[in-house]
Structures are given as structure tokens and as C-alpha cells.
Copies of this chain bind each other. A is one copy, B any other.
Amino acid sequence: MQKSVLRPSVAAETAPLSAHDRVYRGLRQQIMHGELPPGHALTLRGIGKSFGVSMTPARESVRRLSAEGALTLSASGRVTTPELSNERIEELASIRALLEPELGSRALRRAHLALIDRMDIINEANARAVNQQNPVEYIRTNLEFHRTLYLRAQSPAMLGLLETVWLQLGPTMRALYTRLRRTTAPPHHRLILEALRAGDDAALRLALRTDVTQGLRHLQA
């Protein structure tokens, strides 16, 4: 492993991006987007190798992610993606049901047409992912649909908490959506867009809440 001898190329002038950051972001995305099933085992040396770094940044990333609930550390320090109990899944869903309507409501006042159009496009990509039965792409576009809206709420701390919840649900969502191989797009996205266009706060809150709870209630069945 060479030191940080090679300067950041002219292209990446925005941020040198530390090794820890690259590993953290990479792992986080894999987990949130459902690229890893629940219970999937990881090793520090393996993570380091796959990102071309030593164990040190890998360990820091794992510690950070396990603090956020994105990874589980066994008593002996073994690293796996979490296998959530039904209770835990319901609790996380209820947190989503609490935070997401609030974020949506805050975004509503600031939402303009270009935003809604953008959400429409993302929603179409989401529908395509359903047809292709591509769980990772489905989860990714679904989260992007919601995040695009919530970014307008200008509430970074609340969005940060919500993303932590999404992160914890990543592997479980993958397991759910690959198991029941859904063939129809989430029906509530349409309601969300309609409420946005109408500027109807109550309808938006309701649509977001049902979208969240419905999506995860498929599990019990």
C-alpha cells in the first residue's frame, strides 16, 4: 500500500476525500440500498481490500455504521448486517410514520413545480425497477423519491435521523422485496404527488404515512 503520495488529480478538486470517507460512504450505500441481505458477514480485512485501504479506515467505518444500527457487532467483534425482529421492524416503521409526514409537511410550503416534476421522473424509474424485479434499484429510487421531497423541508437534523432509520432497514427491505417479488408499483406515490400539486397538507401527511406503513406491512403477510 503506497502512502498518500499521489496527489488528487485535477478532476477531483472539490474534495480529496479521505480513505475513511470513501469506505464509509461505499458501505453505507450498499447497506441502505439493500445490496446486502440480512445476516451477511463482513470482515475488516475484506472491506479494506475491496476498497484498496488498510484495516484502519475499514474499522472506523464499521464502528460508525454499527453505531448507526447499520451493522451488528457480535460479542466477539464479528461484523454482520442486522437481522431485525418483527418488533424492531414495526418500531422502525412507526418512526418513519412519525418523521416522514412531518418532513413532507415542512417541504410542502417550499415545494414548487420543478420539484414535483422531478419526483414524477424518479417515480417512473421506480415503476420500471418494479417491472424489472430489481430490488436494489427499486429501493434506491423509492428512497430517492422520498428524499427529494424531504430535502425541501430544510431540516437537516430530522432528515439525518430518518436516513439512519432507512439505513437500519436496508438489508430487511432487500429480503422483503426479493421474497415477495412485488409486481405493482407503490400505489401511494400517486397520492403523494396529487397532494403536493394541490398543496393539501392533511392529504400529504396521510399519503406519506400510509405509503410508509403499507410498504412495510407486506412483511407480516
Which residues of A are in contact with B by a Cβ distance under 8 Å? Answer: 20, 56, 59-60, 63-64, 67-69, 88, 91-92, 94-95, 98-99, 102, 155-158, 160-161, 164-165, 168
Provide the bound-state CA to CA distance between A95 and B63, in Å: 25
Instruction: Give the contacting residue for A157; candidates B156, B157, B168; CB below 8 A.
Output: B168
Provide the bound-state CA to CA distance between A63 and B20, in Å: 10
Residues of B within 8 A of A60 (CB): 59-60, 63
Provide the bound-state CA to CA distance between A56 and B156, in Å: 30
B91 adjacent to A158 (CB under 8 Å): yes
Q: In the assembled complex, how far is the CB of residue A171 from the closest CB belonging to chain B, in whole angstroms?
A: 15
Q: In the assembled complex, how far is the CB of residue A15 from the closest CB belonging to chain B, in whole angstroms?
A: 9
Provide the bound-state CA to CA distance between A169 and B60, in Å: 24
Residues of B within 8 A of A168 (CB): 157
B68 adjacent to A157 (CB under 8 Å): no
Task: Indicate how many identical chains form the complex.
Answer: 2
Residues of B within 8 A of A158 (CB): 91, 94-95
Residues of B within 8 A of A68 (CB): 67-68
Residues of B within 8 A of A98 (CB): 98-99, 102
Residues of B within 8 A of A94 (CB): 158
> Lowest 8 CB-CB distances: which A-B pairs, in order?
A64-B67, A60-B63, A91-B157, A161-B161, A63-B64, A91-B155, A64-B64, A95-B158
Residues of B within 8 A of A156 (CB): 88, 91
Residues of B within 8 A of A99 (CB): 98
A157 adjacent to B95 (CB under 8 Å): yes
Among A64, A94, A157, max chain B CB count under 10 A is at A157
Residues of B within 8 A of A56 (CB): 56
The contact sample of 9 A-B pairs, CB cut-off 8 A, is A20-B63, A67-B67, A67-B68, A88-B156, A91-B158, A92-B157, A95-B157, A95-B161, A98-B98
A157 adjacent to B59 (CB under 8 Å): no
Provide the bound-state CA to CA distance between A158 and B60, in Å: 25
Residues of B within 8 A of A20 (CB): 63
